[in-house]
Amino acid sequence: MNVTLPTAESLRSALAGLLDGLPPKQAAQAVDRLIASYRGTTPTDAPVLRDRSDVAAYAAYRMPATFEAVRSALAALCDAAPEWVPATHTDIGGGTGAASWAVAGAWEGPATTVLDWAEPALELGRELAGLSGVPALRGARWEKARIGAALELAPTDLVTVSYVLKELTELARTELVDVAAAAAQAVVIVEPGTPDGYARIIEARDRLIAAGLTVAAPCPHSAACPIEPGTDWCHFSARVSRSSLHRRVKGGSLSHEDEKFSYVVATRFPVLPVAARVIRKPQIRKGQVLLELCTRDEGLARSTVTKRHGELYRAARDIAWGDAWPPADTE
């Protein structure tokens, strides 16, 4: 039986169908307010999405980028544990469900529960899921819950927490990560690819390790991050195709954008992390490729791959930021 799996294109189509007629001026104003909120430095400890217009603007503005960022993190989990398939999934602070769309695209049929404190977001997410044509999404449960302190989670295979920690106080962040670690077999946390987003990921990573989980990605190990605090930050990039609706709401003219994000994946089951990961965009020069790597045994390292490396050089010319190194078929 052929089962429909969600794609970036199907998400854009569902958004276009649901948000057709959204007044551009109203949407633009809501987006401006949301941008100011998300880029601010003070945790809100309250829902950022207040009403239907906020949620509609958010969905058009953020869902495609969140989908691509989470999909990248899930792909790294699949690479580290190719035989593992979650039967249940809880999307904490899932809002309109972008992470749940990504999960439904990575594995066929996990039973998903989306938790969020903004009822308008849950309502729109439920409508979008109904337009998806994907059984797992259409059967998802959408439940209102206060995210952060005192959140109770039933045992689940997979927990996703995407672009949520920024909205919480420090205490609520730590409690949320601890609850996720206790409930799940695998935890995927995604934050903006900024210095403060990376700092929240490192904080969460440390707590997940302390709770007994093993880092599956992006790091090649569960030891301390080799980046000296304050000198740099680990982040990655996902290409996001813009629909006409997306361009209209965000005021952009390009057909795509690059979403910068930081993430951590940790599990309670055995995984095989990569030997090294490309942590910056590869620099292609005449006859050579310069790679910035995070390695399992040597920490941060730079590698220059030249033509004399033959097959490895050809692989390096095709390698992308965030990929494993060396590729499995060249080892």
- Assign residue 113 the CATH number of its domain: 3.40.50.150
81, part of any domain: yes
How many Å apart are CA 237 and CA 240, to the nearest integer?
9
For residues 309 and 249, state if they share a domain.
no
- pLDDT score recorded for residue 276: 97
Q: 144: how many CB neighbours lie within 10 A of its CB?
A: 11
Give a yes or no: residue 116 inside a domain.
yes
267, 294, 314 - which closes a domain: 267
User: Do 199 and 291 reside in the same domain of the chain?
Assistant: no
The structure tokens 């980046």 sit at 227
- 148 touches 172 (CB < 8 A): yes
Q: Is the pLDDT of residue 42 over 60?
A: no
Same domain, residue pair 104 and 180: yes
Preceding peptide of 326 cis, ω within 30°: yes
Q: Are residues 170 and 215 in the same domain?
A: yes
Write the pLDDT tens digit of every residue in 297-322.
999 999 999 999 999 999 999 999 99
**What's the token pair of residue 313?**
């050089």
- Total structural domains within the chain: 2
Report how far residue 92's alpha carbon sits from residue 330's, in angstroms, rounded to the nearest whole number.
38
Last residue of a domain, one of 216, 235, 267: 267
Q: Give me 94's structure tokens.
A: 């899932």
Q: For the chain, what percent of residues have pLDDT higher than 90? A: 66
pLDDT tens-digit map of 88-118 = 999 999 999 999 999 999 998 899 999 998 8
Q: How confident is the prediction for the chain on average, in pLDDT?
A: 87
Q: Are 287 and 166 members of one domain? A: no
Percentage of residues in the chain having pLDDT higher than 70? 82
Claim to verify: residue 180 and residue 286 sit in the same structural domain: no
> Around 68, how many Cα atoms within 13 Å sit in the side-chain half-sphere?
20
User: How many Cβ atoms are within 10 Å of 3's Cβ, its own excluded?
Assistant: 11
Q: Is residue 2 part of a domain?
A: no
pLDDT for 6: 76
Domain co-membership, 82 together with 198 = yes
Q: Given this model, what pLDDT does residue 1 score?
A: 43
Yes or no: say if 94 and 115 are a contact pair by the CB < 8 Å rule: yes
Mean pLDDT of the region 273-291 = 95
Element holding 293 (H helix, E strand): strand 288-295
Distance CA 234, CA 297 (A): 18
What confidence score (pLDDT) does residue 61 get? 78
Q: What is the arithmetic mean of pLDDT over 189-205?
A: 97
Q: What is the mean pLDDT of residues 157-163?
A: 97
Residues 226, 324, single domain; the answer is: no
Range of the domain at 43: 8-267
Judge if 184 and 53 occupy the same domain: yes
pLDDT at 39 over 60: no
Same domain, 116 and 39: yes
Q: Is residue 153 a contact partner of residue 180, using CB atoms and an 8 Å limit?
A: yes
User: For residue 135, what is the enclosing H or E element?
Assistant: helix 135-138
Q: Both 229 and 247 in a single domain?
A: yes
Kindly write down the DSSP assignment for every residue of 34-85, as one continuous string.
Answer: HHHHHH-SS---S-S--SHHHHHHHHHHHHHHHHHHHHHHHHHHHHH-TT--
Predicted local confidence at residue 290, as pLDDT: 97
Range with the poorest average pLDDT among 76-80, 243-247, 253-257, 310-314:
243-247
- 256-267 and 141-144: which strand pairing? unpaired
Q: What is the DSSP letter of 307?
A: G
Assigned domain for 300 exists: yes
Q: Are 240 and 284 contained in the same domain?
A: no
Q: Output the pLDDT for position 255.
A: 59
Single out the residue in 222, 240, 267 at which a domain terminates.
Answer: 267
Q: What is the pLDDT of residue 155?
A: 97
